[in-house]
Amino acid sequence: MNDQNFFSIDRLVEFGMSAAIAQQMVKSMNQNMQSMYIPGSIQSMPQPTPPAIFYVAIDGKQTGPLNEAELTRLIMERQVNKDTLAWMPGMAAWQPIEQIPAILKVIALTPPPLT
């Protein structure tokens, strides 16, 4: 075999090494592109969190499920305060509202009553 023939050992080794390097480059580029934030891309957009669901004890009775707007209304109507027992999915037991950060956030965002 001569060096000009495609099937010569040198050409085959050169071709194989080129293919291996190209594969590594493609893999590296794909990894970089997957970690890149591309505006408008569905894959790169953060997934929305499901709305919070709350339960509260009013006059000894379970009230709920409540969304944030309904809980805000109860806070504004003063039916719910820091000592009211509440529960939300993921909690092991009912606790006073002042011990639940997710509900404290709702309270912090609730405007004071107009006087």
CA count, 13 A, side-chain hemisphere, 19:
6
pTM of the model: 0.55
Same domain, 33 and 67: no
Task: State how far Cα 27 lies from the chain centre.
Answer: 27
Per-residue pLDDT of 71-109, as tens digits, reads: 989 988 889 988 999 999 999 999 999 999 988 888 888
Total tally of structural domains belonging to the chain: 2
State percent of the chain over pLDDT 90.
30
pLDDT at 1 over 60: no
Exposure string over 86-97, b if 16+ CB within 10 A, otherwise e: bbbeeeeeeeeb
In terms of domains, do 95 and 60 share one?
A: yes
Percentage of the residues of the chain whose pLDDT score is greater than 70: 83
Q: Are residues 69 and 92 in the same domain?
A: yes
Q: Structural domain of residue 2, as residue ranges?
A: 1-46
63 lies in the same domain as 105: yes
